[in-house]
Amino acid sequence: MRVILVDDEPHARAYLRQLLEQHFGWLQLLGEADSVSTALELISAYRPDLLLLDIKLGQDTAFDLLEALGDFRCQVIFITAHDAYAIRAFRIAAVDYLLKPLQCQALAVALQRARELHALYAAQPVWRDLSTIVQELQRASKTITLPERTSYRRVPIAQITYCCTRHAGAQVYLQNGDRLMVNKELRELQQQLETSGFMRCHQSYLVNEAHVSSIQKEDGQLLLVLTDGSKVPVARANLAWVRMRLQM
């Protein structure tokens, strides 16, 4: 994949360049830009597959650059110290939104996602806008964007088994065994997920009904047993409502 790096901070560009050279040899770095104008020149000349893009570019922003590109489309990974633009970034089908200080592992996950999308895009028989492909994938598998400590992660809702309160946020458990610590309260997740088959079975737990296999009682505690073997407590006051929801 061919990539252009856009950041107005020289040390940030140097650090990212070093990471790319040391760990991601399959990427071809076409050039670097420190402003919207220089980025436009590079993009016009090389037409990259991927932009690694900071949000603040002097007096301009990354969104000014993307608007100036007109009909040209490529993949975008935002790498920024500003977390206030994440929703806007994902609305334009950004691959990922990483927060500085940049962690190599978070970058690796984002670049692998871009690589997979690039392979899918290259396999299309007719040229299509990348955002169209992403929208089709999202329709096939509805997703939610979750804010982690240093990045934002888009997760298929069907893969979430349950969520629970942890410290100042919540922990999200996935079908593949991953656990995500997210900067959201459980009630916020409930508001986003309750229309997708999630129920608040306990003050501290939100469960995906599609992953519930049975109800058990252990040592006086009512539990929902999930398809992956996990067990989630049910508040006694909620039992009748839970049984009705699950038809058990």
Residue 140, pLDDT > 70, answer no
Give Cβ neighbours of residue 7 (< 8 Å, ≥ 6 apart): 13, 16, 32, 34, 52, 53, 54, 57, 79
219 pLDDT band, cuts 50/70/90, is: confident
* Predicted pLDDT of residue 237: 84
DSSP 85-129: THHHHHHTT-SEEEESSPPHHHHHHHHHHHHHHHHHHHT-SS---
Residue 128, pLDDT > 60, answer no
Q: What is the mean pLDDT of residues 25-41?
A: 94
* Predicted pLDDT of residue 122: 65
Residue 104, pLDDT > 60, answer yes
For the chain, the structural domain boundaries read 2-140, 152-246
139 pLDDT band, cuts 50/70/90, is: very low
Token reading at 63: 């969104």
Long-range contacts of 100-104 (CB under 8 A, 24+ apart): 100/12, 101/150, 102/15, 102/16, 102/19, 102/150, 103/150, 103/151, 104/19, 104/23
Q: What is the mean pLDDT of residues 95-109?
A: 91
What rounded mean pLDDT belongs to the chain? Answer: 87
Q: What is the mean pLDDT of residues 53-76?
A: 90
Residue 138, pLDDT > 70, answer no
CATH classification code of 152-246 = 2.40.50.1020
Residue 193, pLDDT > 60, answer yes
| Class of the CATH-defined domain 2-140 | alpha beta
117 pLDDT band, cuts 50/70/90, is: confident
